[in-house]
Structure 1
Amino acid sequence: MSGLSARDIGHRVVVRHRLPGGQLTDVLGVLQSLDASQLVVRHADSTPYAIQLADVSAAKQIPPLVLRPVDVEQLFLTTALGRPAVETSHLGQWLLRASDGWTGRANSLLPVGDPGMSVADALKHAEAFYDEHGLTPLALVRLGTEREAEFRQHGWVESRPGQSDALVLHTSLDLVNGVPAYEVEIDDKPDAEWYATAFEGEVPAAAPKVMEGAPKAVFASIRQDGKIAAVGRGSMTGHWLGIDGVRVHPAYRRRGLATAVLQGLARWSGAQGGRRTYLEVLEDNTAAVSTYLSLGYAEAYRYRYLTSR
């Protein structure tokens, strides 16, 4: 074999090798491991492909995948479907969401597509909806868009002026589905211990309804010293994996557990047909932003919450 060494682990490679019948074939993916007898290439769907070194005729590292442009409008809606609110009403294609006040995302208007009426009338309907639910009218608005300008022209202003922008980051799944440094458990339903790690203090009443409400969601955890030390949530919408709810117990931070949670969810998603992944993070959370960018994430768009009051 030529061209590969332990330094290439974690990089994309192409390996030409001989099948049992003698035919030559190529395998392309991420080099997962390499020892004296075999190498393992990880496909985009997370499947490992073991090849004996004696069967390899050529192998080399290849450039990383170019991150394809994202359909921002589609992703904007996908983020809502991946973590649906307790109650969702439609205003044309706009989504009116309410969840007893827990999180801005689950209690805000998502102005995606056409509301089926003038923006002025749609905003009046939105205000009435939130008044009926005893909530402050909020809209999750992508920055730098015509829609943002329209909302501001109708008197909507910053709801959280002291908070930084929220960034929606995306990447290709095979950039982040590496082998976790810790064992990651994936469950269909979280238990009380999972929630105790996910939240500092009392769990909001609406949280389980929101977090468990997606059609296809799983809950990741890592145990250390006999207890859950890190958690995260993953949801599938089409070929998109949404990752949220990542939290590491303070006693176990700065050990790579958050990255392992992300990788564990990515590997689960690959087997479910996942191809791309997104997550959200506040811009001023510099440690998290730096970690995500180093893993291959890039900014798709950013948003803020606007309110009419």
Structure 2
Amino acid sequence: MEFTIGGRLEVRMTADDVGKRVSVRQTVEGGGARAKFTDTVGVLTSWDNGVLSITSRSGESVRIAESSLVAGKVVPATPARRRGPRASFEELTRVSARAWQPAESEALGDWRLRASSGFTRRANSVLPLGDPGVPLDEALRRVRAWYEERGLPAYVQTGTGAEGAQERLCAQLEGYGWRREVSAEMRVAALAPLGDMAAEVSRVRLARSADDGWLSRYQRVGTPGHPPGAHVLKVLGSGPSVWFASVPGDGADEAPAAIGRCVVDGRWAGFMAVEVAPDRRRQGLATTVTAALARRALDEGAAAAWLQVETDNEPARALYDGMGFTLHHRYHHFRSASA
């Protein structure tokens, strides 16, 4: 890794480079001739209050004090592969969880209890990766109590078509009387072809946060005169590198014609909340939003895409079939019989 200009090390990047792929060197021990260094390559996801946050291709987030920087520069993104990605159930589940983080969470062994005042099941359910540290019946009792304290129904999110432990947990939950309420598909695709889709991406506005216009189109919270709560904004803003896309409506005061959200996390780009105004459907706007977000994610070094779609949403499934997304596994939300 080379940072020198005429034999000198330099920091050749600023906070304006947030969202770009960078390479930095920092001191980790000592000083002067005996100083030791470490190098980090990844997407610069923030630079606030003298601290940089860089997300590597593995999804790991590294925080670096500005005062420890010796050198730094923006580097080109690696060429994106065009064949479909391979990933384990656990990798994809953890990536998707980082892209939709709850307002509140608590560990139960290796399980993660998540709550966000009822905003989406994903942010209000248990993520059971690993051992809860207690017998299953005791774990489920604690889960029910935790959600009851918050006035919420108890849900457990688990998968099928994935790993044996998840399949067994589904059967065990049914044995304890938990009911499967909602099922969805986790789909994956190579990212580069999404960015290559023919679309008028110049129409798309990209931003780091969801403004009032974007929120007015988002069907889960788009109620006029009722702004979303802090828990909603926290979930929507969560993730290593978050982007919001919108296609303006015809009038200055109209809600966007289409919106979307993308979270870049190492090699992965997750697509969520792609919505189009009812009177603007079948005009290619969902493709336009997806292509614009995909190009932004490619610029940050991502190479693979994922999304989640409920199994009964036939129009969306057909759209994603056409974009090249294929089924990786299914996941389900089981609700406690006593909830």
With the length of structure 2 as denominator, give the TM-score of the two structures.
0.68
Q: Which of 193, 197, 201 in structure 2 is aligned with 1:175?
A: 193
Q: Distance in 2 between matches of 1:282 and 1:113?
A: 25
Query: Percent of counterpart pairs with the same letter?
Result: 32
Query: Partner of 1:157 in structure 2?
Result: 179
Indicate yes or no: 2:148 matched with 1:128: no
Instruction: Summarize the alignment of residues 189-228 of structure 1 with structure 2, pairs less than 5 Å apart.
Output: 189-199=209-219, 200-201=222-223, 202=226, 204-205=228-229, 206-226=231-251, 227=254, 228=256
Q: Is the 8 A contact 2:98 2:238 kept in 1?
A: no
Give 3-state SS (helix, strand or coil) of 1:146's partner.
helix
Q: Distance in 2 between matches of 1:123 and 1:271?
A: 43
Shift of 1:44: 7.1
Shift of 1:117: 2.6
Once the two structures are superposed, residues 29-59 of structure 1 have per-residue CA deviations (whole angstroms, 9 ceiling, x without a partner) of xxxxxxxxxxxxxx9757xxxxxxxxxxxxx
- Where do 5+ consecutive residues of structure 2 fail to align? 1-76, 162-166
Indicate yes or no: 2:184 matched with 1:166: yes
Shift of 1:274: 0.8
Query: Partner of 1:8 in structure 2?
Result: none
AA partner of residue 155 (structure 1): G
Query: Partner of 2:157 in structure 1?
Result: 140
Instruction: Summarize the alignment of residues 25-104 of structure 1 with structure 2, pairs less than 5 Å apart.
Output: 65-104=82-121
Q: Distance in 2 between matches of 1:215 and 1:241?
A: 10
Query: Partner of 2:8 in structure 1?
Result: none
AA partner of residue 270 (structure 2): G
- Where do 5+ consecutive residues of structure 1 fail to align? 1-42, 47-63
Q: What's the RMSD between the two structures over aligned residues?
A: 2.1
Indicate yes or no: 2:243 matched with 1:243: no
Q: Distance in 2 between matches of 1:45 and 1:293?
A: 24
Q: Which of 276, 283, 286 in structure 1 is aligned with 2:304?
A: 276
Give 3-state SS (helix, strand or coil) of 1:170's partner.
strand
Q: Is the 8 A contact 2:85 2:304 kept in 1?
A: no
Q: Distance in 1 between matches of 2:272 and 2:300?
A: 18
Q: Number of paired residues?
A: 246
Give 3-state SS (helix, strand or coil) of 1:130's partner.
helix
AA partner of residue 69 (structure 1): R
With the length of structure 1 as denominator, give the TM-score of the two structures.
0.74
AA partner of residue 191 (structure 2): L
Q: Is the 8 A contact 1:168 1:279 kept in 2?
A: yes
Q: Distance in 2 between matches of 1:241 and 1:196?
A: 24
Shift of 1:119: 2.1
Shift of 1:129: 1.1
Q: Distance in 2 between matches of 1:257 and 1:102?
A: 26
Q: Distance in 2 between matches of 1:291 and 1:129?
A: 38
AA partner of residue 150 (structure 2): H
Query: Partner of 2:204 in structure 1?
Result: 184
Q: Is the 8 A contact 2:156 2:335 kept in 1?
A: yes
Q: Distance in 1 between matches of 2:170 and 2:129?
A: 11
Q: Distance in 2 between matches of 1:278 and 1:265?
A: 13
* Distance verdict in 2 for CA 1:203–1:240, change over 3 Å: farther
Shift of 1:198: 1.5
Using the TM superposition, name which of 250-259 and 148-157 deviates more: 148-157
Give 3-state SS (helix, strand or coil) of 1:217's partner.
strand
